[in-house]
Amino acid sequence: MAGRIALLAGSGALPRALAQTLTAQGQPPVVVRFNWTEEVWEGPGEVLPARLEHLGALFASLARLGCDRVAMAGGMRRPRLDPKAGDATFRAAAPRLVRALQAGDDAALRLVAALFEEEGLILVAAQEIAPELLAHAGALGVHRPGPADLADAARARAVAEALGALDVGQGAVVAQGLCLGLETVQGTDALLDFVAGTATPFRPDPDGARGVLWKGPKPGQDRRFDLPAIGPDTVRGAARAGLAGIALAAGGVLVLNRAETLRAADATGLFIWGVP
């Protein structure tokens, strides 16, 4: 019989959505909350406070609680580690951790995943737990892109994937063929805020295509963690930035709070389009 799932819960709506799905399936998770996570946990599950410096204690607790699988979900900011507070397990992993945290997000998360796998825990992807969260191909709402929007989406995808190959970001905004912004460590909301404050002078034709946000996994990304996601805030940010819509890699992006997200897109006239 399978054991419990430990949910490494970062920020945002995804951890709560997965905890609710698991609980509805009769598998309430153990919710691991690291000490750098500022949000108060409001979902179901048994909460386990943790520090990365206390890896040995965390692994022992997960074994005691019967966990044999682990899922990573939500925003994971880079912690400021205190090596002096580390236990023996942390000290053994510290050189690898320091190198990984100085690299891109995917490299850092791969290392964290490897540490859990070395303890015999199986890594489970968010989309395995809740496949209904994945964006499908075509229109997700009532609005659809025009030819100029599709051209901007293709350009934004190419730009984002070129940057993503360096393990930097998962999104870009393009309008009338011009890149207005790139997603970096600050995230999608910061990208859209930047575009909202700077985009107007850079659109050559004020009556032309308004622009598209592209979201998709990085080339070669381990899709067991850190899949890109959108939600109602993404839609509202895209509307403030004056964009025509959002294009997503179908099967590679999570749509959180789907009903609210699509209502917001329909109300603001934005399309959400899944690209095969």
Domain boundary among 73, 107, 129: 129
Looking at the fold, whether 102 and 162 belong to one and the same domain comes out as: no
Give the chain's domain count. Answer: 2
End residue of a domain, out of 129, 157, 184: 129
Note down the domain range covering 15: 4-129
- Cβ pair 68, 3 in contact under 8 A: yes
Distances (CA, A) of 258 to 22, 75, 224: 18, 18, 21
CB-based burial, 192-206: b 16+ in 10 Å, e otherwise:
bbbbbeebeeebeee
Domain-terminating residue out of 98, 129, 160:
129
Say yes or no: 58 and 178 in one domain.
no
Q: Are 9 and 41 in contact (CB under 8 A)?
A: yes
Regarding whether 258 and 146 lie in a shared domain, the answer is yes
Q: What is the CATH number of the domain that holds 263?
A: 3.40.140.80
Per-residue pLDDT in tens (0 to 9) along the chain, 276 residues? 579 999 999 888 999 999 999 999 999 999 999 988 878 898 899 999 999 899 999 999 999 999 999 999 988 777 777 878 889 998 888 888 877 777 667 777 888 889 999 999 999 999 999 999 999 999 999 999 999 999 999 999 999 999 988 888 899 999 999 999 999 888 999 999 999 998 777 788 888 999 999 999 999 888 998 899 999 999 999 999 999 999 999 999 999 999 999 999 999 999 999 999
My answer on whether 45 and 104 are in the same domain is yes
* CATH number of the domain that residue 97 is part of: 3.40.50.20
Same structural domain for residues 88 and 15? yes
For residues 41 and 153, membership in a common domain is answered with no
Please state the pTM of the whole predicted model. 0.90
